Every structure is written in structure tokens, then in C-alpha cells.
Amino acid sequence: MTEVKKIEDTLLIQNPVIAQMVLNNHEQVVFCNDNDTGLKAIIAIHNTVLGPSMGGTRMWPYKNELEALTDVLRLSRGMTYKSSVAGLNLGGGKAVIIGDAKTQKNEAMMRRFGKFVNSLSGKYITAEDVGISTKDMEYIKMETDFVSGLPENMGGSGDPSPVTAYGVYISMKAAAKEKWGSDSLSGKKIVVQGIGHVGENLVKYLAKENASIFIYDINQERLKSIANETKSTVITNAETLYDLEMDIYAPCALGATVNTDTLNRLKCSIICGAANNQLEDENIHGKLVMEKGILYAPDFVVNAGGIINVYYELEGYNRERSMAHAEKIYETTSSIFKMSKELKIPTYMAANRLAEKRIADIAKVKVSF
């Protein structure tokens, strides 16, 4: 106990790796470097009680290594909880590649990364995430079998974003049911922040239900065609987004957009989106959301469609089975709202408890005789 406390009390700047691993009980962190290809990556394995760790690889121009480490540790922990709540026999892992995906990514780099993944002998299975395409997964696959999210012509599931978006959409309906007594989204003013593959598919689902949709993305050119197709309104200034009157705020880009500043400005009844780690600090902002009377649908619950989709590749992909499993997200989200209300705890805490209980239960099953 003394040793753990000493690590926790040490400034992260002095012990940035072990100190952060201890905070959330990570099992393993692997640093990857290759001078010839320019690869600089971190693979984080949070927990493997339920099965091998799985999580996407993200390529992003992080400001520094500490920022990349913090991100991969948070994301890998989220994957553990996501797979647990979704009822999958998977642990949580994640990888980040430090760099600009538009200018620095190439075949050699992806294949070298694949070799690092392979060196873990199946303890980590990678998949697609921000800055990584199905083509990149093909390159990684050339060096390792521990990869999912492959193109359909290679026996994979292809782009997982439609299933991810569907999970967010039905979670939004579950939240509407909890908040207003009906899961209809018709006429509801919904702000979707981040129109990548998942955000775009989410907007299409919402358009079919005649929601009043407002969209924002840093790529303004991309918004025009989507706005025309879905009859959405384009938000041109990110700073004004949080000051709009809205029913539902759907963060679908990077995390930490639910923070002290935005919570003082947000005028919504529900927060439900596809982004990971939406709460900048779950202990602080999860409680603030509850105090403000906003219903927060925990991100790792609602965006589990993607991991569900790639999970079914491991057993021979079947779209119908994947979608049937994703349908359960509605029921899971509703059960978390119920637990939150009954125990008078924030929804993020209810979701965490649900995930942790399954992990603890299965850990007992796996105890050696």
C-alpha cells in the first residue's frame, strides 16, 4: 500500500507513465518507435479479464508524448468498460500513432506498426479509428492476424460507422423516452458536433425521423453536401455552438467537450453522442451534468456499436447478428438511466458500476482451481 500511495502522490511530470497506469490499473503500455518509417506509437492494454484487449488505432498530431499517453490510457480504459457493458468477451486496449495522417502516413509505417501489434501475440487486437482507414487495416493485416475492421472483400465488416451511428441513434431515443416519455425525435432540435463517418450516418438516421438538425465540423466544405441531403442547418462558428437553444447535444468528434466552460453555456436536456471521453473529468462534470438536470447518456455505452461490429469479425462476420446485438444498446441505456434514478447517482457512475460488476463476476469464474 505504501508503494502505491507514493506513486500516486508523485507529480505526473516526474513519473508520467507508471503514475498514470496506477491510477486506473492498466496492465501494460508498449512504446513503439521505428526511425526508418517515422513510426511513433503507443499501445495501451487496460484489462484482459474478459478476453483479449481490442480497440482501434488512432493517428493524431499530438502536441507532445504526454498528451498522446494520456489519450491512449483514457481510451483503452473506456474500451474495457465499453466491451463489458456490451456483453462482449473482450478486454480494453487502444493504440495511438503520433503524427499527421494526411501527410505522414504510408504503407511502410502501417506495416511496421502491424509488426509491433503482432509482437503482443494476440493480447491486443487492433481496428480502425480516427485517422486510420480500411486500406490502412489491409496494410496492418499483412504483418499480423490480430486485426479487425477489415474491408468486406477481405472477409471483414468494412466501415463500422453505420453500426456505431445506429447505436448512438437508438440511445438518443432511449434518452428521449426517459426525459419526455416518448422516444420520438421528430421536431427535436439536435446539434451534432463532428460530421465524420459516424456523425454523417447519425444525421441521416435523424433526418429520417424529421428531427431539426444543426451540424458543425471543422471541415466546412464537407458540411454543404450533407446539409443539402439531410436538410440540416450548418453552424459556421464553433464558439456559438454551445450557446444555442437545443434539445439534444450530440458530440461526435474528439472528447472533453463537456467541461466546466461548456456546461455553463449549454442549453440542452440531453447529451448523447458518439465521441469518446466526452466528460473532461467524469468525477466533476458527470456530477455537474446531473445537478443541471441534463440527462447524460454515457459515451462508452451508446457508441459500442463499432466494437460490437468488429467483434463479430472474429467469429466470421454476419451483419444481421451484429445489428441484432447493437439493438440491445437501447435496453442497456435505459437500464442505466433506471439505476441512476433509483440510486440517485450520476449516469456515468451507474454505467461504470455495471461494467465493473461484470468484470468482477467473470474474474471469479476464471480463478484457477
Contacts by 338-341 with C-beta closer than 8 Å and gap 24+?
Answer: 340/290
User: Is 189 considered catalytic here?
Assistant: no
Which of 94, 105, 123, 141 is an active site residue?
94
CA distance 79 to 126: 12
CA distance 111 to 180: 50
Torsions phi, psi of 195, nearest 5?
A: -110, 65
Please list, in sequence order, all residues whose beta carbon lies within 8 angstroms of the beta carbon of residue 358, skipping any fewer than 6 positions away: 50, 84, 85, 87
CA distance 89 to 308: 10
Torsions phi, psi of 368, nearest 5?
A: -70, 145
Q: Are 194 and 216 in contact (CB under 8 A)?
A: yes
Q: What one-letter code names the amino acid at 38?
A: G
Residue reference for cell 506513486: 7
Q: Using alpha carbons, select from 170, 206, 123 the residue that is nearest to residue 302.
A: 170
For residue 34, give the 3-state DSSP assignment. strand
Q: Which residues are catalytic?
A: 94
